[in-house]
Every structure is written in C-alpha cells, then in structure tokens.
Chains A and B, each alone.
Chain A
Amino acid sequence: MLDIESQKSPKGRWPTPPFDPRFPNQNQTRNCYQNFLDYHRCVRKMNQRGKGTQPCEYYFRVFRSLCPRSWVQRWTEQIQEGTFAGKI
C-alpha cells in the first residue's frame, strides 16, 4: 500500500497534472501536499472497505508529478515510522 514501486504509472498517455482551480497561483506547495494526503486517505478508506485502490491512482500520479522526490521520500518514511504530521 505504501510502496511507491508497486504503484508505478501505467504506460499509457498520462498527460501531466491538469490545472487545478483550487490552487491557481504560483505557490503549488499545497497542491502537492493535498494530493499526497488524498492518495493515502483514499487507499486507507478503500482498504477499510475491502475494495481495490485503482481509483486512488489519479492522486498518486498527480503527487508523483508535482512533489519533489525528497519530500515524498521524507513523508513516506514518516508514515512508516508513525511520525507523519498530516491526518490520514
């Protein structure tokens, strides 16, 4: 579930993340963070209900495109250690 490698983007025509009207300005920090949170929340909820996590893939691809690798790595480690500050 938390393994990025197992959720690699499909080899299809994934255009880059579209314009998100919730984040219209120069500062896209929240765009990256929000999609990261949404992905993990989606996966958690789907797993709770026993459903597949395929619909969560959109959030995964958006944060993979937008978020710097170092940030994703740091947050993933924090989630694994239980020290992640966000609500998932």
Chain B
Amino acid sequence: MADAAATAGAAGSGTRSGSKQSTNPADNYHLARRRTLQVVVSSLLTEAGFESAEKASVETLTEMLQSCFNVDTLPAYAKRSQRMVITAPPVTNQPVAPKALTAGQNRPHPPHIPSHFPEFPDPHTYIKTPTYREPVSDYQVLREKAASQRRDVERALTRFMAKTGETQSLFKDDVSTFPLIAARPFTIPYLTALLPSELEMQQMEETDSSEQDEQTDTENLPLHISPAEASDLWSLTPWPPSSLSPSDSCPCLLRILCSVLHCVTWHSRLPLIAATAWPPLGQREAH
C-alpha cells in the first residue's frame, strides 16, 4: 500500500518539480521525496494563506496528496499565475562550468522550465556544418585509384588464401613470390563453371534493375548465407567439404570478397552492401 502510494507520489511529483532526487539510492530516495512532498504541501498551504501548520496535519495532507491526485489537470495548474516557486534544493559544491567558447546568445528557458535547470547548449552546437573531403573530380585519378585498390585487394586476398592453404609454385626454389593456390578438383565441376559467380550476379542485378524481367536468373539460384558460415572465415579452418552449392569452393570468403571488391569504388556503396547486397536467400526451385 505504501509502495503504491509512493510510486504514485513519485509520478506526481516528478512531473511537477523534476526528478532531481529520483536517482538517489532507495532509502535516500524515499526520504528525499517525502521531504519534497512536504515542502510542496507546505507551499500549497502558504499559497492558500496559512502561516503555520502542525506537523501531523502536514503529514496527513502529504498522504492525501499521494493518494488522490489528478494528472490531467496538472499542466494547467502548474502554469497558474499566482504560483509559488519552490526554491532549488540546496546543492553542495555546484560545479562551475567553464565557459570555453561562447558564440551567440544562449536561448533562455521557456517559462515553464525552472531556471535552475541546465541551460540549453550553446547555439553553435545547433549549426550544421556539412564537411566533405575534397571531391576528387579527376577521372584519371579515380580510375587509377579504383584500379589499384581493386588490385591490392585482390592480391592481398589471394596471397592470404595462398598462405593459408596449399600452394603450387612455378619456381622450385621459391614458393612465395608467385604463390599459386593449389588446384583442387571439384566434385561437381560444371556447377562452378557454369553458374554466374555472386559478384557477377550482383552486378547483373544492379545493371538490370531498371529492366527487371522474370528472366533475371538470380532469383532461383540457391545461395545460402548464414551467419554461421561467415565465422568460418576467421577461424581459418579448411573450407567445409564441398556440397552441391555453386560456391562450394569457399562460400564465406567469396562473399566477403564480393563485398570488398564492391566497396572499392569511388562511390561509397556501404549502405548497399549492408542492406541489399545479397540476393534473396535460397529460393530453391522445387523439384
């Protein structure tokens, strides 16, 4: 019962006078709130013309305030003209905010916000200052950059792959300069050979998006992406035994690669990758 009352009171008082103390630990909280309520009741009494009141009656009135209380009418009541402003609770060693930078006038509080509330942020914080990197407009540089980034990514990736797996070499005495990822037979070689790679399909989707017809072959191709697979990449384990999936060589890496290659452009395509880069999941044709 007391709890319920306390909650209601807290709600009531919170709306009226802020919830400064509501962050105190439980005991403190109750005490502080009680005290605040008493202050409120007292001020109401003062407003009503009383000069003094017995403690017991204040207690009773406080209890009443907690119990029956109409929230709806509060705002109007709060804005009444002859209201009495409760003084701020005493704050010990209030930190003085150093005025580092001031630009323009701070906005004053609207009338219903007590002045002891924190001030609005400095006006300059509201100013939008869009900043861009200097747009590179030179076509040649762009192409150059795209090409070399792409190449770097490819090389890094293939070297990484070569380092982590079996390799073949063109020179007997050197295996690291031109490492070739070892040839590995597929169980179903024609699938990898014939089905478009994911990168290609992605491109096809993009280039074809305007002229979508039901011929877009992408939709029916089974492509399975699961978060579980993605983790494989980083565990550096050998690729799972190939299955009937078209990308049976290295499913997850492929995807990462696709996205990396895709990123390397002068447009930022990040949102695209995050949201729509992957074709619909595994809509396998029923057969």
Decide if A and B are genuine partners. no
